[in-house]
Amino acid sequence: MRSKNHVKLPFAPTHYKIRPMLTKQTLTLLTLALTSSLIALLMLEGGLRLLPSPPILFENYGETYVCSPTVGWLGRPHYQGLLTREEYSHPIQFNGAGMYDHDHDLAKPPHTWRILWVGDSFAQALQVDEKETAHQQLETMLNERLGSAEQQFEVINLGMMGWGTAQELAYYREQGQRYQADAVVVMFFMGNDVNDNLPGHALTIDGFNCFAPYFPVCNNQLDPTAWAHVPGLDPAWNSCSTGRYAAANGLSLLQQNSYLWARLEPLMLSWQPRRSYGQEFGLSFAALYLPQESEEVRYGWQVTEGLLQQFQQETAANQSKLGVAIIGPREVVWLATLNESQRQTFYDSAPAFKTAQIDYPNQRLLTFLQQHNIPTLDLQPPMIDYIKQTGAPLYLPIDRHWTVEGNRVAAELMYNWLVAQNLVPTASAK
């Protein structure tokens, strides 16, 4: 029985015809448009490759380094050249892995205790001849003092200019763990490692801005997956969605290979706010030494601590012992060696540093690492004492890295610490 309110349709439902959303003609036009656009983009890409390199946004290292999609950049394998700066000049040669070291087999030789020396430019030590680097001097000390026919020591340099802890972890995963090391020492530079672990860290190589991978903190925990940084795409500071990760990885392929993208990159970077990490003090690391931390500094510390914990987990999984050595910046070491009058003169010229606490960031990191049972050596205090006692310059005034003597003192301190922490076997001590 029908309702009294039933309304009769003016046409039967069977009269409806479902029309396709896109006709064959429309699809053909869209295909032609997309094909034409793709051809135009490819022609533009090819034409740009014939023009001079894109604008350099960061210091250019194209002769010595190559971009890496997984770690940002590496030394050019087997590179040889003369490195000349105002304070030094000597030949340098990279091994097949692009490191400032001789070649090492992945398979560990019998009766050999292997140490991976991981870090940035301080670990790399291009400022001195290879035999004068701290890692080579440490290897010599170990073999002369502890070595025997049954026990030899090998220190493998995995230091790379500009790397932060994030890149060091990424490279350890990709290559470092394959060396079957007995111990891994992370050389942590307080001058910029915290800053370099934030998104946007890069070098310019052969016209391309090579961005370092980064690890975001989401739900108050480090995401152990390395993320690609792409200009124009907001970094995953606290949002680790699958879609954002897929977009970053996909776009990074264009960013690393497209000259057209490289030309547009300055515009993309202008869309993103510049990091203000310590810039108001003239030196980026200065923000670490102030009692009032910015949100960015706090986040940098959270990322860094998470990375070191991740290092601990992954080295332990590979049956390797982990240790961390802290390197102080030249400016901080220099400031600590001044007398009160000289220090006051410096503060008058740089009032922003008056509230700086020279030992604060080192103590903070030491406390964290001790809480997680990671053996740690703070190289800053003994180096300050050495300079006060001997007057020997351990840092180059302009380059700001270790001198030959600075590398030697670092190696000696590292040797004593490795022995004291049982990070090397001492049964054959001479």
Question: What is the rounded average pLDDT of the residues 114-137?
Answer: 98
Bigger pLDDT: 363 vs 36: 363
Q: Residue 374 pLDDT > 60, yes or no?
A: yes
Q: What is the pLDDT of residue 317?
A: 98
Q: What is the pLDDT of residue 33?
A: 64
Quick one: pLDDT at residue 4? 42
pLDDT at 243: 85
CA-wise closest residue to 189 among 330, 387, 88, 302: 330
Question: What does each C-alpha distance from 149 to 184, 277, 395 come to in angstroms?
Answer: 23, 51, 37
Q: For residues 201 and 196, what is the distance between their CA atoms, to the nearest angstrom?
A: 6
Phi and psi (nearest 5°) for 400? Answer: 75, 10
Residue 70 has pLDDT above 60, yes or no: yes
* For range 292-305, the mean pLDDT: 90
With 90 as the cut, is the pLDDT of residue 186 above it? yes
Region 116-127 average pLDDT: 98
Helices 24-48 and 259-271: angle between axes, nearest 10 degrees: 90
State percent of the chain over pLDDT 70.
78
Region 156-169 average pLDDT: 97
* Amino acid identity for residue 225 in this structure: T
Can you tell me the distance from the alpha carbon of 302 to that of 162, in angstroms, rounded to the nearest whole number?
20
Mean of the per-residue pLDDT values of the chain: 84
According to the model, what pLDDT value does residue 244 have?
Answer: 83
Domain parsing of the chain, residue ranges = 22-51, 65-420
Measured distance CA(42)–CA(22) in Å, rounded: 28
Strand bridging mode 321-327 / 208-211:
unpaired
Distance of CA 36 to the CA centre of its chain: 41
Number of CB atoms found within 10 A of residue 194's CB:
29
Residue 282 pLDDT level (bands cut at 50, 70, 90) = low
**pLDDT digits over 316-356, tens only?**
999 999 999 999 999 899 989 998 898 888 888 777 677 77
Per-residue pLDDT at 222 exceeds 70? yes
pLDDT digits (tens, 9 = 90+) for 15-58: 444 455 567 777 676 666 666 655 654 554 555 455 555 544 44
Beta bridge partners of 155: 115
Question: What percentage of the chain has pLDDT greater than the value 90?
Answer: 57
pLDDT at 109: 95
DSSP state of 98: S
Q: Which residues pair with 368 in a beta bridge?
A: none
Min mean pLDDT across 256-260, 276-280, 353-357 is at 276-280
pTM listed for this prediction: 0.83
Confidence band for 238, pLDDT divided at 50, 70 and 90: confident
- Superfamily of segment(s) 65-420: SGNH hydrolase (3.40.50.1110)
Please say whether the beta carbons of 125 and 161 come within 8 A.
no
